[in-house]
Amino acid sequence: MYTRPDPPTEKTATSRRDRVYALISEEVLNGRTGPHTRLGEVRLAERFGVSRTPVREALARLHSDGLVERRENGFYATVPDLAGLRDLYELRVTLELRGIARALEDPGLRHDPAVLTAELERWRALRADPPPPDPSFVLLDEEYHAALSRASGNRALTESLVSVNRRIRRLRMYDFLTEDRIASTVDEHIGIVEHLLAGELKAAHRAMHEHVGASMEVVLERARGALTQMALHARTP
């Protein structure tokens, strides 16, 4: 069994778990780990120079994200169902736009300025100090879109959006693998909020449509490329 001589501190353990998570998820999302390659704890621990604990925790997180699945003899990379995920992504677009459209249809409805201001400050801070490309950026993105939906005042709409985003998270991770996509996402988020705070609802609706539409095409293209790579790297255990 692979072990480390010294027990890690809590901070070190977290950084190791996050590093292992990032390395495995990057390989899965880029198709370099195929669906027939078992993700064994011992082999991964030796490969990354860590104990089995951060590997086990990373695999549990990957399983929660839908990037790996548990079979009888261990974890394996999942194969995304692009047809089903595309249908859900289209539903996501509809829900995103509806949060703004309802304010366009009813002049008495206004987005909560406190929620919008908080999001604007958060994303301006991210623009000043952008994070590196990482599939887990999808969680920040989900929080942003949930906040904007919540600001629109329809709780049921927000609950539906959160549910759909959770189901397509596995696909949406493909959107945050390059610096340019992180930068464009941050800029677009800021632009949408600025339009909403200024009461420019038509511009906000148009910007949101362009934002989520472009994201859908990016993730589908990258997911198709990953499936091709999975097929090329496929091998029996």
Q: What are the residue boundaries of the structural domains of the chain, listed by start?
A: 10-79, 82-227
Please tell me the predicted confidence (pLDDT) of residue 11. Answer: 58
Q: 10-79 has which fold?
A: Arc Repressor Mutant, subunit A (1.10.10)
H runs (alpha helix) in the chain: 10-29, 41-48, 52-65, 82-105, 113-128, 137-151, 155-167, 169-172, 179-197, 201-233
Q: 82-227 has which fold?
A: Four Helix Bundle (Hemerythrin (Met), subunit A) (1.20.120)
pLDDT along the chain (237 residues), means of 10: 45 77 83 84 92 92 86 87 84 95 94 98 97 89 97 95 88 86 96 97 97 86 79 56
The model carries a pTM of 0.74
Please tell me the predicted confidence (pLDDT) of residue 4. Answer: 44
Residue 153 zone, left/alpha/beta (φ > 0; ψ -120 to 50; rest) = left
Please tell me the predicted confidence (pLDDT) of residue 236. Answer: 42
Say how far apart CA 119 and CA 147 lie, in whole Å: 8
Please tell me the predicted confidence (pLDDT) of residue 13. Answer: 62
Say how far apart CA 79 and CA 223 lie, in whole Å: 10
Say how far apart CA 159 and CA 162 lie, in whole Å: 5
